[in-house]
Amino acid sequence: MIELLIPLSIWDSIYGAMSTMIQPIYWAVSGLLVLFHWLWSQILDPDSGATWVLSIVTLTVFIRTLLIPLFVKQINSARNMQLVQPKVQALQKKYGSDRQRLGEETMKLYKEEGISPMASCLPLLLQMPIFLSLFRVLQGVADNTIRGQFFKDNPDVVESLQNATLFGAGLSDRIFPLTPFGSTQILGVFLVILMVASLFFTQLQLMRKNMPPEALNGPMAQQQKMMLYLFPVIYAVSSAVIPIGVLIYWLTSNIWTMGQQGILIRNNPAPNTPAFIDWEERMKAKGKDPAAILEERAAKRRRTKSAPTGRVVGGASAASATSATSATSADSPTETDTAGATPKVVRQQVTRQTVRTGEDGKAVVRRQPKAQARSTRKKK
In the chain, domain spans: 2-275
Q: Which carries the bigger pLDDT value, residue 321 or residue 202?
A: 202
* Confidence at 103, pLDDT banded by 50, 70, 90: confident
Q: Is the peptide bond before 232 cis (omega within 30 degrees of 0)?
A: no
Largest Cα separation within the chain, whole Å, is: 117
State how far the Cα of 107 lies from the Cα of 122, in Å rounded to an integer.
18
* Confidence at 20, pLDDT banded by 50, 70, 90: low
pLDDT at residue 72, as a whole number:
76
Least confident among 23-37, 129-143, 183-197: 129-143
With beta carbons less than 8 A apart as the criterion, state whether 115 and 81 touch. yes
> 272: alpha, beta or left, given left = phi > 0 and alpha = psi -120 to 50?
left
Q: Where are the beta strands (DSSP E) in the chain?
A: 165-166, 169-170, 312-313, 316-317, 334-335, 344-345, 352-357, 363-368
- For the segment 1-22, the average pLDDT, to the nearest whole number, is 54
Q: Is residue 118 predicted with pLDDT exceeding 90?
A: no
Radius of gyration, CA atoms only, the chain: 31
Q: Which carries the bigger pLDDT value, residue 252 or residue 129?
A: 252
Least confident among 39-53, 210-224, 230-244, 335-349: 335-349
Q: Which carries the bigger pLDDT value, residue 339 or residue 234?
A: 234
Q: Is residue 301 predicted with pLDDT exceeding 70?
A: no
- For the segment 231-253, the average pLDDT, to the nearest whole number, is 86
State how far the Cα of 205 lies from the Cα of 266, in Å rounded to an integer.
11
State how far the Cα of 252 lies from the Cα of 250, in Å rounded to an integer.
5
CA dihedral 359, 365, 368, 370 (to 10 degrees): -170
How many helices (H) and strands (E) would you count in the chain?
A: 16, 8
- For the segment 236-242, the average pLDDT, to the nearest whole number, is 84
Q: Is residue 342 predicted with pLDDT exceeding 50?
A: no
pLDDT at residue 316, as a whole number:
40
With beta carbons less than 8 A apart as the criterion, state whether 345 and 330 touch. no
- For the segment 195-202, the average pLDDT, to the nearest whole number, is 89
Share of the chain above pLDDT 90, in %: 27
Q: Is residue 59 predicted with pLDDT exceeding 50?
A: yes
pLDDT at residue 376, as a whole number:
52
Least confident among 179-183, 186-190, 245-249, 345-349: 345-349
Q: Is residue 46 predicted with pLDDT exceeding 60?
A: yes
pLDDT at residue 218, as a whole number:
64
pLDDT at residue 304, as a whole number:
67
Q: Is residue 279 predicted with pLDDT exceeding 50?
A: yes
Q: Is residue 334 predicted with pLDDT exceeding 70?
A: no
pLDDT at residue 13, as a whole number:
59
> pTM to 2 decimals?
0.69
pLDDT at residue 352, as a whole number:
44
Q: Which carries the bigger pLDDT value, residue 367 or residue 186?
A: 186
Mean pLDDT of the chain: 75
Q: Which range is most confident: 198-212, 310-324, 329-343, 344-358?
A: 198-212
State how far the Cα of 76 lies from the Cα of 373, in Å rounded to an integer.
53
Q: Which range is most confident: 238-252, 291-305, 316-330, 348-362?
A: 238-252
Q: Is residue 322 predicted with pLDDT exceeding 50?
A: no
- For the segment 47-51, the average pLDDT, to the nearest whole number, is 95
pLDDT at residue 283, as a whole number:
94
Q: Residue 11: which of 121, 120, 131, 138 has the closest Cα? A: 131
pLDDT at residue 15, as a whole number:
53
- For the segment 148-162, the average pLDDT, to the nearest whole number, is 91
Q: Is residue 310 predicted with pLDDT exceeding 70?
A: no
Q: Which carries the bigger pLDDT value, residue 307 or residue 108?
A: 108
Please enumerate in sequence order all residues whose Cβ is within 8 A of that of 170, keeping only pairs 6 or more positions apart, or say none. Answer: 162, 163, 164, 184, 244
